[in-house]
A = this chain, B = another copy of it.
Amino acid sequence: MAVTERRLKQREQQKESILEAARSIMLKEGWAAVSIRKIADVIGYSLPVVYNHFENKDAIMEDFIRHGFILLGDAALDAKAQSAEPAQQLKLIAKAYYEFALSQREYYQIMFGLGVPNCDRAKETAEIGRFGDIIISTLKQLQGGECNSQTILKFHTFWSILHGLSSINMINLAATPDELQQRVLQDAIQGFIMNINN
């Protein structure tokens, strides 16, 4: 029966339209302004329809977190592709990360904000792993191919530098000109790279 197939397709489209509605509200008014009723209003269905696709509002947010990490991973991949040299790749990834954080504030904030209630499994999704793998593979190349136990720690450090500079800059916005901040970031990454084989 092709009918169930069509049904599934329609269901999928409906789900997608829910996410699209939520995304447009979020980008316009912030995540706090996203409500199930507004979503239902935008997609032209009544309120409980949303619950056919998402168990609760948090589930929608988790979807956004996943999507955010896909976008971030894509940005990292694009950056990495612009060079063949691992060290240079890391610098490009750093730049891309910083730009993602500042240009996609809403995404970045729900990805790293207090949205995480209890270090739940939402943070250990495949998408977060993909992002990590992109960077870890680059680190491996820089270290000469082998993946010792230090590599994961180095990744941790690299990510911390990126997140720290990005988020402190988001909080202290306009305190430091963007150009200077970019230099600070590149300096920090340079130091990180030089110290990669300590």
Which residues of A pack against B, CB within 8 Å? 30-32, 109-110, 112-117, 119, 123, 152-153, 156-157, 159-165, 167-176, 180-181, 184, 187-188, 191, 195, 198
| Nearest B residue (CB) for A118 | B30
- Copies of chain A in the complex: 2
Taking a contact as CB atoms under 8 Å apart, the answer to whether A165 and B167 are in contact is: no
Which residues does chain B contribute within 8 Å of A162, judged by CB atoms?
164
Which of A114, A116, A170, A195 lies at the interface centre, i.e. has the most chain B CB atoms within 10 A of its CB?
A114
Taken together as a complex, chains A and B put the C-alpha atoms of A163 and B167 apart, in Å, by 8
Are A114 and B109 CB-contacts (below 8 A) given A157-B184, A164-B160, A195-B191?
Answer: yes
User: What are 26 A-B pairs at a CB distance below 8 A?
Assistant: A31-B114, A109-B114, A110-B114, A113-B113, A114-B114, A116-B171, A119-B171, A119-B173, A119-B174, A152-B176, A153-B184, A156-B169, A156-B181, A156-B184, A157-B165, A157-B184, A160-B161, A160-B164, A160-B169, A162-B164, A163-B163, A163-B164, A163-B168, A167-B167, A187-B198, A191-B191
Q: How far is the CA of A123 from the CA of B159 in the complex (A)?
A: 24
